[in-house]
Amino acid sequence: MILVTGGAGFIGANFVLDWLASNRGPVVNLDKLTYAGNLENLAALKDDPRHIFVRGDIGDAALIEKLLQQYQPRAIVNFAAESHVDRSIHGPEDFVQTNVLGTFHLLEAVRAYWSGLAEEQRAAFRFLHVSTDEVYGSLGPNDAAFTETTPYAPNSPYSASKAASDHLVRAYHHTYGLPVLTTNCSNNYGSYQFPEKLIPLIILNALNGKPLPIYGDGLNVRDWLYVGDHCSAIRAVLEQGRVGETYNIGGCNEMANIDVVKTVCALLDELKPATQPYAALIIYVKDRAGHDRRYAIDARKIESELKWRPSETFETGIRKTVQWYLENQSWVAHVVSGEYQGWLAKNYGGGRT
Ligand code: NAD
Ligand code: TYD
């Protein structure tokens, strides 16, 4: 048994689906079901007794204590977070609440549970904290990629709150001996990603004939990784990672935003041709405040220690992703109703340049 938090979100749901598909044992899935959490992501597990879904907050220590006592998990994988940079700019408080205080309360409950385990179970227990490359800040064009020893320099309320959570996790190992692992991954894309993030936003806007908003000059660089490869990396770290260590995970695939958007447009031109090329919908809009210029991951540690490598290239992964959104229109229709419309108005309403 493992306990996954945030397993109704984009990466967490992919992780839970992959975990159960490969028969690694049952999962308790704790998720608050914020706007980003969606039980439809887990619809395939509706009648699967190996998946126990609990709606709740990682900040609810009493609930966590109860779940830990009831299910006695051998590991926790902590995905739960507020995850979108633009939302953190509009409203940072939720980020501090969940990413910092939530992680703190979760750690406290886990520490109490772990302290009471028998010697052998204590040694085998793992707390894996899923984090981001954004904690390292922004790179210049010729800077070396982030390694595990790059100093933290978070620039957005999102990355600052994730950095704080990483530090708490580190401190619980150093001070209390909690057997923790931390992963810092680059930008993910794939199925079930909420369409506030660049790639699904572009796919859905294009299909609806709406403008494709590029922040600033479109030359900000991200290192894109297919979500299934992130999940395989987390499994590798959970199973073989050295306790107390952090592992950077990346796709070795740096791309400027404008090139990502043009690639998506070209795929849509091929798979769902419209009367004009989709790239005609591209517009440049006001830049994001404090927009980090470039992220790049040096993944040599996980590659050499744990023999992990991505199995998808950007070409294969983005094709699968675009196809998934084309084939899952009812998922899309449910996701984009309600709160999502309010978000679009708030973030893009008056922002064109
Ligand atoms: P997401 O926003 O799609 O999902 C987050 C999930 O956490 C949702 O299901 C939400 O309901 C849940 N949640 C939020 N607050 C909660 C709380 N207080 N208690 C319990 N559940 C709560 O995010 P994602 O993109 O799947 O990211 C998952 C994790 O991976 C995050 O920790 C994020 O920082 C990290 N990460 C994401 C990326 C990326 O590109 N998306 C890259 C690197 C790391
Ligand atoms: P995003 O998917 O929000 O991830 P992150 O900010 O965590 O990297 O954004 C990826 C890049 O795309 C980032 O440089 C901001 C940019 N972007 C746009 O140009 N337009 C958009 O509408 C969005 C959402 C993002």
pTM tops 0.85: yes
Residue 319: CB atoms within 10 A of its CB come to 16
The pick from 90, 189, 197 for probing ligand 2's pocket by mutation, whose C-beta has the most ligand atoms within 8 angstroms, reads 197
Domains of the chain, start order: 2-189+226-251+293-311 (3.40.50.720)
Centre of ligand 1 from the C-alpha of residue 5, in Å:
9
Centre of ligand 2 from the C-alpha of residue 148, in Å:
24
Digit-by-digit pLDDT tens for the chain (353 residues) are: 999 999 999 999 999 999 999 999 999 999 999 999 999 999 999 999 999 999 999 999 999 999 999 999 999 999 999 999 999 999 999 999 999 999 999 999 999 999 999 999 999 999 999 999 999 999 999 999 999 999 999 999 999 999 999 999 999 999 999 999 999 999 999 999 999 999 999 999 999 999 999 999 999 999 999 999 999 999 999 999 999 999 999 989 999 999 999 999 999 999 999 999 999 999 999 999 999 999 999 999 999 999 999 999 999 999 999 999 999 999 999 999 878 888 999 999 854 43
* Atom 3 (ligand 2) nearest CA: 197
Over residues 306-331, the pLDDT tens digits come to 999 999 999 999 999 999 999 999 99
Ligand 1: nearest atom to the Cα of 97? 18
* Contact criterion met (CB below 8 Å) for 57 and 211: no
The pick from 15, 30, 33, 34 for probing ligand 1's pocket by mutation, whose C-beta has the most ligand atoms within 8 angstroms, reads 34
Q: Which of 92, 120, 8 is nearest to 289 (CA)?
A: 92
Centre of ligand 1 from the C-alpha of residue 206, in Å:
25
* Contact criterion met (CB below 8 Å) for 3 and 71: yes
Ligand 1 interacting residues, C-beta cut-off 6 A: 5-6, 8-12, 30-34, 36-37, 57-59, 79-83, 98, 102, 130-132, 162, 185, 187-188, 194
